[in-house]
Amino acid sequence: QVQLVQSGAEVKKPGASVKVSCKASGYTFTSYGISWVRQAPGQGLEWMGWISAYNGNTNYAQKLQGRVTMTTDTSTSTAYMELRSLRSDDTAVYYCARALRYFDWADPWGQGTLVTVSS
């Protein structure tokens, strides 16, 4: 079955960087893209961006431009999301999800990775 498994929880200090991984299985990795969505505690969902696993093309949310980088490693079917210059309001659960194109629905989702930014 199609499955996305994310890396474990992280605690970071303000100004640091975090890199979350998302390992895909059960489908041809390069035939789809990966969307990243985050959810602050008790809040709704926020779209962060999308990356094509076929050619590495990306589409980032404007508010995160310059701080976020999404990459893929096709040899291990793994997607990565790196967020730099972390602030306290970056504290959230970060989800990866399979999405054919940047504007398509996301299905399935990874289990989520909690990133806590605290001094």
Partner 1 sequence: QSVLTQPPSASGTPGQRVTISCSGSSSNIGSNTVNWYQQLPGTAPKLLIYSNNQRPSGVPDRFSGSKSGTSASLAISGLQSEDEADYYCAAWDDSLNGRGVFGGGTKLTVL
Among 58, 69, 84, 108, binds partner 1 (CB under 8 A): 108
Does residue 103 belong to the site contacting partner 1 (CB under 8 A)?
Answer: yes
Stretch that binds partner 1, among 16-24, 25-33, 40-48, 75-83 (CB under 8 A): 40-48
Closest distance of CB 90 from partner 1, Å: 18
Q: Identify whether the C-beta of residue 26 lies closer than 8 Å to the C-beta of residue 18.
A: no
- Annotate 36-73 with b (16+ C-beta within 10 A) or e (fewer): bbbeeeeeeeeebbbbbbeeeebebeeebeeebbbebe
Kindly list the residues in this chain that would bind partner 1 in the complex (CB under 8 A): 35, 37, 44-47, 50, 59, 61-62, 95, 97, 102-103, 105-112
